[in-house]
Structure 1
Amino acid sequence: MLINMQYSPIMASPVDVIVVGAGNRGTNYSDYAVIYPNRMRVVGIADPRDFARKKLQQRHKVSDENTYDDWRCIAEREKFADAVLICTPDRLHKDPAVALAKKGYHILLEKPMAVTEEDCSEIVETCIQSGVMLAVCHVLQYDPVIHKIKVLIDSGAIGDVIHIQHLEPVGFYHFAHSFVRGNWRNKAESSFALLAKSCHDLDLIHHWAGGRRCIKVSSFGSLSHFRKENKPARAANRCLDCPIEEECAYSANKIYLDRVKKGIVGWPVSVICSNSIPDIESVTEALRTGPYGRCVYECDNDVCSNQVVNMEFEGGLTAAFTMVAFTEEICLRRTSIYGSKGELTYDGHEIKVFDFLTNKITKHTADMEVPGDFGKGGHGVADYHLIDSFTAAVMHKDPTMIRSGPKETLASHRLVFAAERARLENRVVICDEQKS
């Protein structure tokens, strides 16, 4: 039986939350209220899309008077909840976060915080001045096995940390879905790939560095393969019309239609039918008319498909991060951390620590059991522990239950912006001491 130790036997009143953005992330986090109605209640919703808004409204039985197509309606009202879950598109994070923090709502904010360093700073400053808690959804810190890495480092299991190597394999069809055809394909419409996809990972590296300031950053990367010049001669502009679709690993027919034919209607199929329940007819129509049916060589994508970031921290600690689209594994991170007394490796499933003195390997795992549907895909286990920690923090008025506070999160975001500057300007960026 899963036992949650964050809640005392004498429970406080449930935390009332408003969901701003009723898409995949907002729906996922708010499902916590279905599992634990004595801990969380969804009392308000804001989303401009009728289908998504009404679907979430029905699930949580939210009154019409608290359901809106614009979050600004909530900001204009007197405060009627404890916290807000902001799960809007990346470029629409800053305004609701600032406005609703000023109203006194505690903020759970989907990552990245915002798409500019200045907006990230404004969010953090507003939350601090308003006396509200801010939890940015760096969910990997809440993954039980990944969290174990930090515990082992802090216990001295490998001595002083000397070097960190970390890999994010995005996954070939995941990248095609999200970063070629989807919402994060274009910098002007969303943000650059390192921020949108890998701020998780630089946040982890910053976390493992244990408070040591990053002093230098370099980065290299580009958009590979998914370019117009790589389109096969006989390929059509849409997969449904393509005579050589069967020869293409990135075919929308394979990624979406083949799944729905097998009864698989979760991510990524669920994303492409925002106004209906996914079935053969709705998915086919989405591929015929929508962005997800386009040839991957005929999209308006411009974000990096592969990027490396090299970092030097105080005390000589170095770190190397790699993000690459062209992998079998989807987001199953790989990590090696080299210390003065041992070596730690993580293969996406378990941790191994090799001790230099004894020449022995010790394996470490963690309990990955979570209630409900949280653990069924993606980083669902980590999602559960994140929303559980945030709810407990608000319920008990204890921000220490949030693993990455506003200042730490801002520092790791600044590291991402510094890395992208280094890539674009083809130079080593010396991090500003005043901002770290």
Structure 2
Amino acid sequence: MSKMLTVAIAGLGSRGGDAYAACQKLFPDKMRIVAIADIVAEKVDFISKEYNVSKEMCFDSAESLFKEDKLADVMFICTQDRQHVGHAIPALRKGYDLLLEKPISPELDECREIIKVARECNRKVVICHVLRYTPYYTKLKEVIDSGIIGDVVSVMAVENVGYYHYAHSFVRGNWRNSDETSPMILQKCCHDFDMLLYLSGKTCSRVSSFGSTYLFKEEKAPTGSTERCLNGCRVKDNCPFDCEKIYIESDKTGVRNGYTEWPNNVLTLHPTEESIRKALEEGPYGRCVYHCDNNVVDHQVVNLEMTDGSTISFTMSGLTDKISRYAKFMGTKGEIIADMGTNTIDVCEFGKEHEIIDVAKLSTDFRGHGGGDSRLVESFLDMISENKKPSERITSLEASMESHFIALAAEESRLDGGRVILMER
């Protein structure tokens, strides 16, 4: 039986404070939060009260936390992209096993360094590729591995980021500028590369890529737009990216319609129409999407040639209505169309009737990345408490690294006009 593990969390944003901390309520016999750190005092205060963390174990930064001796069995590192390795390495040297938010780092040397330190310290590191843990992708992996479509020869995959998600996170929000965070293809799509490699069982040999910031830039700004949506913009009624539409009025995300979690709790810890409006008037999320300091791509295609001669094509687009993933796996004996948006897997052996698998019938819990968030945390806790080696399903540091190498190669190719990049081994 798994033992109770004590947990320290560095970074209390949407991932650390909302998704992963909440797992204590789901698994009260497996984890207990005993130490927390964040640069936002309001978040520290809220999480400390929510999970009964003593004041002595609350810190105003990860760096302050690391000045102390080891305070817990494991640590969840959920700080910003370019802080991950700088926080992970001292945590490893303190003796913590880590649940580390993706991406590991946008720098290849840092990716290699953390592997080296983890091995030296004999510590386990699991990367938060939550999709592997979902009922949807678990079933899809099972179907592909059954051999029903034979060898996978070609894959076509699409990540639909969603126009409001893209505007929120990658134009106005924390991941808008790769100089401060990560390239879009790494930050958002290392999930996808991890899944495509895992599902197909393939290894990549060559990568090429194209993409750009097509829409979200000054020269695309409509006549009559203003620096901020609420400052007399004359085109806001016809703009789908208008901040009032997204955060206040929308049926999908508007606080007026009862939505107080993501994305609204990024703007203010306790969203109300009044607090959201104040945040839009004063903060970054009220800026016009055509007048921001963003530089990440809003569309990108990546071509992968695998070592066995099979191929994968992948498209990321921020210009989609829904947030979803879609893939078609074409094999020597049949094909699979996997649509996470509808939670269906369409399996067809050549010459036979299609079988439609309704994944919604396979689980009752699809909260948080299709049910992946909580299953990731539980898998990590069980592995550490039972002192097991990472299984194939577990996104260990070494397993995750391949997705990062591909994403960074894709960005190198994109910046160099689509030049083919050979993957080094």
Provide the TM-score with structure 2 as the length reference: 0.94
- 1:291 Cα shift? 0.5
Match in the other structure for 1:301: 294
Query: Quick one: percent identity of the two aligned structures?
Result: 38
Deviations 1:5-54 (A, max 9, x none): xxxxxx34311110110111012111111222111100100111101111
User: In terms of mean alpha carbon deviation, does 22-31 or 395-404 score higher?
Assistant: 395-404
Q: What's the secondary structure of 1:93's corresponding residue?
A: helix
Match in the other structure for 1:385: 375
Match in the other structure for 2:52: 61
**2: CA distance between counterparts of 1:419 and 1:200?**
14
Deviations 1:245-299 (A, max 9, x none): 11111000101122122221111111111xx411122111111111100111110
**1: CA distance between counterparts of 2:384 and 2:281?**
45
Deviations 1:354-386 (A, max 9, x none): 011x5122223442323xxxx44x515111111
**1: CA distance between counterparts of 2:395 and 2:2?**
24
- 1:133 Cα shift? 1.2
Classify 1:201/1:12 alpha carbon distance in 2 versus 1 (closer, same or farther; 3 Å): closer
Does residue 326 (structure 1) correspond to residue 316 (structure 2)? The answer is: no
Does residue 22 (structure 1) correspond to residue 12 (structure 2)? The answer is: yes
- 1:433 Cα shift? 3.5
Any residues of structure 2 matched to 1:23-42 within 5 Å, and which? 23-27=13-17, 28-42=19-33
Match in the other structure for 2:344: 350
**2: CA distance between counterparts of 1:248 and 1:337?**
36
Any residues of structure 2 matched to 1:189-204 within 5 Å, and which? 189-204=180-195
Any residues of structure 2 matched to 1:355-366 within 5 Å, and which? 355-356=349-350, 358-366=351-359
Classify 1:365/1:176 alpha carbon distance in 2 versus 1 (closer, same or farther; 3 Å): same
Match in the other structure for 1:222: 212
Paired AA for residue 221 in structure 2:
K
Classify 1:294/1:427 alpha carbon distance in 2 versus 1 (closer, same or farther; 3 Å): closer
Match in the other structure for 1:272: 267
Q: What's the secondary structure of 2:380's corresponding residue?
A: helix
- 1:151 Cα shift? 1.7
**2: CA distance between counterparts of 1:430 and 1:234?**
43
Classify 1:380/1:342 alpha carbon distance in 2 versus 1 (closer, same or farther; 3 Å): closer
Classify 1:214/1:12 alpha carbon distance in 2 versus 1 (closer, same or farther; 3 Å): closer
Paired AA for residue 262 in structure 1:
N
Classify 1:256/1:340 alpha carbon distance in 2 versus 1 (closer, same or farther; 3 Å): same
Select 2:422's aligned residue among 408, 413, 431.
431
Match in the other structure for 2:255: 260
Decide whether the 8 Å contact of 1:79 with 1:103 is kept in 2. yes
Decide whether the 8 Å contact of 2:106 with 2:408 is kept in 1. no
**1: CA distance between counterparts of 2:372 and 2:276?**
29
Paired AA for residue 290 in structure 1:
G
Paired AA for residue 290 in structure 2:
Y
Q: What's the secondary structure of 1:337's corresponding residue?
A: strand
Deviations 1:73-128 (A, max 9, x none): 33232222111111111111111111101111111011101121111111122112
Match in the other structure for 2:394: 403
**1: CA distance between counterparts of 2:328 and 2:418?**
26
User: In terms of mean alpha carbon deviation, does 319-328 or 279-288 score higher?
Assistant: 279-288
**1: CA distance between counterparts of 2:220 and 2:420?**
33
Q: What's the secondary structure of 2:29's corresponding residue?
A: coil
- 1:209 Cα shift? 3.3
Decide whether the 8 Å contact of 1:168 with 1:324 is kept in 2. yes
**1: CA distance between counterparts of 2:121 and 2:144?**
34
For the aligned residues, what is the CA RMSD? Answer: 1.5
Does residue 341 (structure 1) correspond to residue 333 (structure 2)? The answer is: yes
Deviations 1:125-163 (A, max 9, x none): 211221111111111111111122222222212111101
Paired AA for residue 263 in structure 2:
P
Provide the TM-score with structure 1 as the length reference: 0.92
Decide whether the 8 Å contact of 1:145 with 1:365 is kept in 2. no
**1: CA distance between counterparts of 2:355 and 2:116?**
43
Does residue 143 (structure 1) correspond to residue 138 (structure 2)? The answer is: no
Classify 1:399/1:74 alpha carbon distance in 2 versus 1 (closer, same or farther; 3 Å): farther
* Structure 1 residue runs without a partner (length 5+): 1-10
Match in the other structure for 1:187: 178
Q: What's the secondary structure of 2:53's corresponding residue?
A: coil
Match in the other structure for 2:199: 208
Any residues of structure 2 matched to 1:42-121 within 5 Å, and which? 42-121=33-112
**1: CA distance between counterparts of 2:364 and 2:215?**
39
Paired AA for residue 350 in structure 1:
T
**2: CA distance between counterparts of 1:410 and 1:363?**
33
**2: CA distance between counterparts of 1:234 and 1:421?**
37
Match in the other structure for 1:3: none
Paired AA for residue 382 in structure 1:
G
**1: CA distance between counterparts of 2:272 and 2:230?**
16
Paired AA for residue 89 in structure 2:
V
Q: What's the secondary structure of 1:351's corresponding residue?
A: strand
Paired AA for residue 270 in structure 1:
N
Q: What's the secondary structure of 1:177's corresponding residue?
A: helix
Decide whether the 8 Å contact of 2:208 with 2:421 is kept in 1. no
